C-alpha cells in the first residue's frame, strides 16, 4: 500500500505537476485546517463559513482534495470520493487536466449552483454531466478498492 501511495504521489508531482502545484498553493492559502488522507490523496476539510472566498466549495487539484464540512463534522463520504475521482482524472490526463477537466468542471459547478432548483426539479443530477460522472465513477471505484486493500492489510 505504501508503494502504491508513493507511486501515486510521484506521478502527481511529475505528470500532474501543474494542478498539484495549484493545490499546494491553495492548501497554503487556506491556512490552518483539518487534514487527513483519503486513499492516496491529502484531503483538507474546511468550514466554508470561515473562508473569505465563500463561493469556493469543494475541489480537487492534483493530489490535493478540498472538501467543505461544518467545523468538527466529518466530510460527506460521497463528496470526498467524488473529489478523489478527480485526482485519478489528473493522473490520466496530466498537463491536460486543467483544460479538459478543471475548467469544464468549474463551469458546470457554477452553473449547477446557480440553477440548482431547476436542475433538481428536472431530475438533472450534478454528476450527469462531463466530467462529473467520470469523477464519480473513478471515486467510487478507487474508494472501494482502498477499503478492500486496507481490510486485507490492517
The sheet with strand 64-68 has its strands ordered as: 34-38, 41-46, 64-68, 59-61
Is residue 88 pLDDT above 90, yes or no? yes
The gap from C-alpha 146 to its chain's centroid, in whole angstroms, comes to 16
Q: Which of 71, 36, 65, 81 is nearest to 51 (CA)?
A: 71
Is residue 102 pLDDT above 70, yes or no? yes
Supply the pLDDT for residue 145. Answer: 85
Which residues make beta-bridge pairs with 65? 43, 60
pTM exceeds 0.85, yes or no? yes
Supply the pLDDT for residue 107. Answer: 94
Supply the pLDDT for residue 1. Answer: 77
Is residue 11 pLDDT above 60, yes or no? yes
Confidence band for 55, pLDDT divided at 50, 70 and 90:
low
What are the residue boundaries of the structural domains of the chain, listed by start? 2-152
Query: β-strand 59-61 against 34-38: which pairing, if any?
Result: unpaired
Amino acid at each position: 500500500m505504501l508503494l502504491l501511495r508513493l507511486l501515486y504521489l510521484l506521478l502527481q508531482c511529475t505528470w500532474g505537476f501543474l494542478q498539484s502545484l495549484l493545490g499546494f498553493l491553495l492548501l497554503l492559502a487556506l491556512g490552518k485546517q483539518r487534514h487527513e488522507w483519503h486513499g492516496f490523496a491529502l484531503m483538507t476539510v474546511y468550514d466554508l463559513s470561515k473562508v473569505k472566498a465563500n463561493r469556493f466549495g469543494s475541489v480537487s487539484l492534483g493530489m490535493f482534495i478540498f472538501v467543505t464540512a461544518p467545523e468538527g463534522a466529518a466530510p460527506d463520504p460521497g463528496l470526498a470520493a467524488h473529489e478523489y475521482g478527480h485526482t485519478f482524472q489528473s493522473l490520466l490526463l496530466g498537463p491536460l487536466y486543467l483544460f479538459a477537466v478543471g475548467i469544464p468542471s468549474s463551469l458546470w459547478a457554477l452553473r449547477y449552483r446557480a440553477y440548482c432548483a431547476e436542475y433538481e426539479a428536472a431530475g438533472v443530477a450534478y454528476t450527469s454531466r462531463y466530467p462529473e460522472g467520470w469523477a464519480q465513477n473513478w471515486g467510487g471505484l478507487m474508494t472501494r478498492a482502498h477499503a478492500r486493500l486496507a481490510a486485507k492489510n490492517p
